[in-house]
Chains A and B, each alone.
Chain A
Amino acid sequence: MIGSKAVRAAFREYYFKQKLVEAPNNIEQREFGYAQFGIPGMVRHLSFKGAGELTATLVREVPSDVYCSNALYRFPTLPMQEKQWQGADLIFDIDGKDLHLSCVPSHSYPICSNCGHASPTLEKEYACPACGGKKADYVSIPCAKCIEGSKKEAARLVEFLSGDLGIAKDNIRLYFSGNNGFHFHICDDSYRPLDSQARSDLVGYLAGVGLIAESVGVRRSPGSDLAFVKFPRSGLDYGWRKRVAETLDIGASSTIRLTNIVKEKGGYSAFKAELDRITRQMGVRIDPQVTTDVHRVFRLPGTLNSKSGLTKVRCDIARLESFDPFADACQLGSTKVKVKMKTHAKARLKGQTFNIAKEEAELPAFAAVYFMCKGLAEAA
């Protein structure tokens, strides 16, 4: 299906014509990897001397997905233990599916794990109409709400990065992931040496995990669950303390209000649980694995995502609100391609709505490839 000639041809045309592929800085120190159509696994430990060699390889190999390490290595082509890690850029991944939005079931299509039969969106328990199988993989075609949800998270992350961490907005590169989320690349060398543990602490900060009650002044009375309030000497003026203080409407000048809140909640433990709930809700939902992995290969900006045929494109932070991934990241051509739909499916791409109920259809390449990549159609 994904290995179909039509999809590969569209990808080849893209890499031949497009100039969107971004060669990373320090390219010769990066490890590259790519996946091939119809072949499981990934070709890794590659290295390129320059942008020319990279694009030539893309045109020649036409990979289904292209990745590049956020790490810099002395010897990027050697096995992992021998590469000699020299640091890694700070990266973040916001994935729409981690937001668990309520709209998702209404645009998810079950594809039978046993026979590959695709069915329309479900309201009841799944059973494959073709083979009766009960297990399915779900393919989602993100809706406007999903994209809005991811954008909100992205905007919140920008706020944390520029406000709390003081990273200049010019150094925050935001990309649409090419499917259902956003990627961040931080261009700030001072983050490069941080190890996985330090990045994990940073993820905890951004995600709102691990704030102790004492940080906002609530302390446990020895030997009981009672609490007393004594604000930290450093105050509540910045960062998470400020966020929590604003949410609970407390100020460092008087302990009365906070003392009452803790009492209302039912003591130290109950307040702690409530605090944890508040901070997690206010934190950003980033994938911790991506940020803490300092040897990761991450999708290369400007390349195509084989889960959708959309491009990982740069998104201007100032114009995030008006960014439309289904137009801005939809970069494939419009040559007509005949497809056989596996089920009734709909999507909106480049401003056109494709609501395909019939079995066979002739669609512009960008739409045909989108449905084929999603596993909802195959080449006719």
Chain B
Amino acid sequence: MRCRFMAVVQNNTCLSIRLGTGDLARYPFLNEAGEYLRQSEFGWEELDRPDMADIIERAAERIQVGVSGKVYDRVERYETEILTFLVTLIMVKSIAMEPVLKKYALAEARRAEKFLTEDLKKQNEAQRRALLSKIFGDLFGLTIGTTEDGRLFKVKVTDYLARSSHFHEQEWKMINRLVSGGQVYLGPDETVRLVRNELAVLINSRVHAMSLPALPKAIKEKAEVLRIALAPHYEYTADAVTEYPPCVKHAMEVMNKGENLPHSARLMLATYMLAIGKPTDEIVKMFKNAPDFNERITRYQVEHLAGSKGSRTKYFVPSCDKLRTENLCFATKDCDGIINPTQFGRRRK
């Protein structure tokens, strides 16, 4: 196997890889990586070979780090990276837990974001152009240009709007960007941020589209170990949810399953918990199963809602009316006569 890898490396001209092999190591989701596997005549059964044990270990570690919300930032030679990536995909598919897949896909996207930002800052013009056209063009159909001095990147207004309008931060509103002649000018980190979500979606859909053959034993076993290790994250927390109103209960259930909760539902959950006097630490913990959980950011957001950070405005729980319009209301007959979730349970006593 290794001999065959080396043969491919040495005979690089036979591969239509226009990018450097370092790029393939950092961006193993590129079509060229698949091409590499094809050309090396890689077969599933080879994963059972003893010299593949390292790869399987690395893959398991990479999934665990990703699911914990961190970025796995080690980079080995491209042969190792491509195989590791492939094995992570197979494992995540075989674990078959949607929250694990979502967190993993997001972590992979963050990893790629980190490398891309660095590369776009330091590479020369030709390398940068190749990378841009590969990653943005091939994967997302996005044409990106650079300014003459090479400092900024140019994205078409329509491509920008289609992506940025789903970001909540004011700075992403187009009015806060440099816009001219139908192009939006962005820095390297902003350009990469623009497509990060799509990368997660791409990885997600690749895993969904995979059909697994009979898995090599080594992977099957490791995946089973991981499945058990990762499962407890999604068990119900000790808090009994019985006295919470149904809207809050629903949001907690979704969160406990590790599924994505819309922004408006997160706001309701956090403001409700603040209103009943739950300490910030506990509220932050409630969000730990979110696919994009970041403790520092969540803590700031909860403190912001509590009025202790940022604008110092204390946010109250949205009214039942408001929640109805956002499809977040799951009223039961116990809700009769209340106009705000905080009144739930009080009137009946």
Contacts and interface: CB of A to CB of B under 8 A. Distances in A.
B240 interface: no
A301 interface: no
B165 A200 contact: yes
A323 B166 CA distance: 40
B176 A212 contact: yes
B187 interface: yes
Contacts of B177: 239
B178 A198 contact: no
Interface string B108-135: 0000000000000000000000000000
Given A201-B174, A204-B173, A208-B175, A165 B182 contact: yes
Interface string B157-168: 110011011100
Given A195-B165, A198-B162, A166 B181 contact: yes
Contact of A233 (B171, B182, B183, B187): B187
Give chain B's interface residue range (CB within 8 Å of chain A).
20 to 34
B241 to A, nearest CB: 33
Nearest to A193: B162
Contacts of B166: 197
* Residue with the greatest number of chain A CB neighbours at <10 A, chosen from B156, B171, B176: B176
A194 interface: yes
Interface in B182-217: 182-183, 185-187
B176 A238 contact: no
Contacts of B176: 210-212, 214-215, 240
Interface string B49-86: 00000000000000000000000000000000000000
A267 to B, nearest CB: 16
A37 B185 CA distance: 51
B10 interface: no
A282 to B, nearest CB: 11
A234 B174 contact: no
A204 B175 contact: yes
Contacts, number: 85
Contact of A167 (B171, B173, B182, B185): B182
B179 interface: yes
Interface string A189-226: 01101110111111011001111101100000000000
Contacts of A233: 151, 187
Given A197-B166, A234-B152, A212 B182 contact: no
Contact of A205 (B174, B185, B187): B174
Nearest to B157: A165
A295 interface: no
B178 A237 contact: yes
Interface residues of A, number: 34
B170 interface: yes
Nearest to A283: B175
Interface string B307-320: 00000000000000
A211 B173 CA distance: 8
Contact of A198 (B151, B161, B182, B187): B161
Contact of B178 (A167, A212, A241): A241
B170 A212 contact: yes
Contact of A240 (B162, B175, B181): B175
B175 A238 contact: no
A164 B161 CA distance: 14
B158 A194 contact: yes
A165 B151 CA distance: 21
Given A197-B166, A234-B185, A204 B174 contact: yes
A198 B151 CA distance: 27
B13 interface: no
Contacts of A199: 161
A240 B165 contact: no
A214 B175 CA distance: 12
B180 interface: yes
Contact of B173 (A164, A190, A205): A205
Identify the interface centre among A193, A240, A279: most chain B CB within 10 Å of its CB.
Answer: A240
Contacts of A194: 158, 161-162
B14 to A, nearest CB: 38
Given A197-B166, A210-B170, A212-B171, A202 B161 contact: yes
Nearest to A206: B175
Contacts of B175: 204-205, 208-211, 215, 240, 279
Contact of B183 (A166, A211, A279): A166
A238 B185 contact: yes
Interface in B129-159: 151-152, 156-158
Contacts of A266: none
A133 interface: no
B165 A205 contact: no
Given A195-B165, A234-B152, A210 B158 contact: no
A210 B187 contact: no
A209 B175 CA distance: 8
A166 B180 CA distance: 7
Interface in B6-21: none
A212 B172 CA distance: 10
A205 B177 CA distance: 10
A355 B161 CA distance: 50
A237 B177 CA distance: 11
Contacts of B157: 165-166
Nearest to B176: A215
Contacts of B180: 163-164, 166, 237-239
List 3 tightest A-B contacts by C-beta distance, closest first: A166-B182, A238-B180, A239-B179
5 contacts: A194-B161, A197-B166, A198-B165, A214-B171, A239-B177
Interface of B: 151-152, 156-158, 161-162, 164-166, 170-171, 173-183, 185-187
Interface of A: 163-167, 190-191, 193-195, 197-202, 204-205, 208-212, 214-215, 233-235, 237-241, 279
Given A205-B173, A208-B175, 7 more contacts: A164-B180, A167-B182, A198-B162, A201-B165, A204-B173, A211-B176, A214-B176
